[in-house]
């Protein structure tokens, strides 16, 4: 499978999904869910070696975006920042927009200002995290796992396949210096925050995202979803407080570390999905849902957190019924 064939499959999935941005006002109709499900269905019809090859080509398309100057900045202007995993979700979402928009964004990320979804975000009619597509980037893994019955099979086999596949994307197009003038004009409130924070200096946006409270909370969620205890601890303040779903309070980084260690061992399938994240003076509220085989830990919920600089000082999980305990 070459990159051209990879794009054919993505475009076919997009046609199957027929995504309506104006209807993306609920968690069941999003870029990630609708196009991601369509891509899984397309991939499941392929032989296993082609699914592996698709994953290689897709990852290289996604990786190209992650290295393009301005892509971090574009995301920052639109959202004021997300965690590292959120950035990879964003790059996956840009691939999900299709080849036409992918090529425009690679040429100049400020071209996102013309996309219908971004215009809806700027108008307040679409969640500003709508282009993050965590599920879409794992479509090949899901399809491969459903066929083989082994959810980790693709990741065990992909390295040998990748080593054998030459990169056929061609040379990198030249990068065009851009100050994101069109995107900044669409999101003046965010632009004002950036101006107050950084002035007109050159900024390495890939290293400044952690200092936005919402970004710290999203990064904390990402670490939970990956059962990354070391990453979770790195985001905790020394006086970190955890309030779990039962209302039990644990205080102090060491005690909270052990609480999460036990939690991960007890509930290995627990995941959080955020649909909206808002911040008010360091207090962050995230609405979404949790996924877990234990019913009391699954369903819609609201997380609250307190952030100081880039550290989480307090994390409160939803109680059964969907609100913080």
Q: Are 97 and 111 in contact (CB under 8 A)?
A: no
Q: Are 251 and 275 in contact (CB under 8 A)?
A: no
Among residues 178, 210, 242, which one ends one of the domains? 210
Q: Are residues 38 and 148 in the same domain?
A: yes
DSSP 8-state assignment for residue 324:
B
Q: What's the number of domains the chain is made of?
A: 2
Q: What is the pLDDT of residue 322?
A: 58
| Cα distance between the two ends of the chain | 51
Q: What is the dihedral of CA 75, 76, 82, 84, to 10 degrees?
A: 70
- What is the Cα 209 distance to its own chain's centre? 14
Q: How far is 106 from 114, CA to CA, in rounded Å? A: 14
Q: How far is 180 from 310, CA to CA, in rounded Å? A: 25
3-state DSSP assignment of residue 314: strand
Q: What is the pLDDT of residue 325?
A: 44
Q: What is the pLDDT of residue 42?
A: 98
3-state DSSP assignment of residue 201: coil
Q: Which residues pair with 304 in a beta bridge?
A: 285, 316
**What global pTM score does this model have?**
0.69
Q: Are residues 264 and 150 in the same domain?
A: no
Among residues 168, 195, 210, which one ends one of the domains? 210
Q: Are residues 155 and 274 in the same domain?
A: no
Q: Are residues 28 and 56 in the same domain?
A: yes
**What is the CATH classification number for the domain harbouring 299?**
3.10.450.50
Q: What is the pLDDT of residue 211?
A: 56
Q: Are residues 127 and 239 in the same domain?
A: no
Q: Are residues 243 and 109 in the same domain?
A: no
Residue 324 resides in a domain = no
DSSP 8-state assignment for residue 247:
-
- What is the Cα 256 distance to its own chain's centre? 25
Range of the domain at 46: 3-210
- Which pLDDT tens digit goes with each residue over 107-154? 999 999 999 999 999 999 999 899 999 899 999 999 999 999 998 889
What is the chain's Cα-based Rg? 20
Among residues 170, 186, 210, which one ends one of the domains? 210
Residue 256 resides in a domain = yes
| φ, ψ at 270 (rounded to 5°) | -75, 130
Q: Are residues 293 and 189 in the same domain?
A: no
DSSP 8-state assignment for residue 289:
E
Q: What is the pLDDT of residue 28?
A: 77
User: Which residues of the chain carry a pLDDT beneath 70?
Assistant: 197-204, 206-212, 309, 321-325
Residue 110 resides in a domain = yes
Q: How far is 250 from 252, CA to CA, in rounded Å? A: 7
């Amino acid at each position: 499978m070459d990159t051209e064939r990879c794009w054919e499959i993505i475009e076919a999935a997009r046609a199957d999904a027929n995504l309506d941005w104006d209807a993306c006002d609920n968690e069941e109709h999003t870029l990630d869910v609708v196009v991601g499900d369509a891509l899984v269905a397309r991939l499941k019809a392929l032989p296993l070696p082609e699914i592996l090859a698709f994953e290689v080509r897709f990852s290289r398309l996604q990786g190209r975006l992650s290295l393009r100057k301005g892509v971090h900045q574009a995301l920052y202007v639109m959202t004021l920042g997300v965690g590292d995993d959120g950035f990879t979700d964003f790059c996956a979402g840009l691939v999900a927009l299709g080849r036409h928009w992918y090529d425009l964004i690679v040429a100049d990320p400020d071209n996102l200002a013309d996309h219908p979804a971004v215009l809806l975000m700027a108008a307040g009619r679409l969640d500003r995290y709508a282009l993050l597509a965590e599920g879409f980037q794992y479509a090949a893994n899901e399809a491969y796992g459903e066929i083989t019955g082994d959810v980790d099979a693709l990741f065990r086999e992909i390295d040998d396949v990748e080593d054998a596949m030459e990169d056929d994307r061609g040379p990198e197009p030249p990068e065009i210096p851009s100050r994101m003038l069109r995107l900044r004009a669409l999101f003046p409130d965010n632009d004002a925050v950036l101006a107050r924070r950084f002035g007109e200096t050159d900024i390495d946006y890939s290293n400044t995202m952690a200092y936005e409270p919402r970004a710290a909370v999203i990064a904390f969620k990402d670490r939970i979803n990956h059962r990354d205890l070391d990453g979770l601890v790195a985001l905790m303040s020394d006086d970190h407080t955890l309030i779990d779903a039962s209302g039990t309070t644990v205080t102090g980084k060491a005690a909270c570390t052990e609480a999460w260690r036990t939690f991960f061992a007890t509930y290995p399938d627990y995941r959080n999905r955020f649909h909206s994240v808002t911040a008010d003076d360091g207090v962050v509220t995230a609405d979404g849902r949790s996924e877990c085989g234990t019913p009391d830990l699954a369903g819609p919920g609201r997380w609250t957190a307190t952030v100081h600089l880039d550290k989480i000082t307090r994390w409160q999980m939803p109680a059964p019924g969907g609100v913080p305990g």
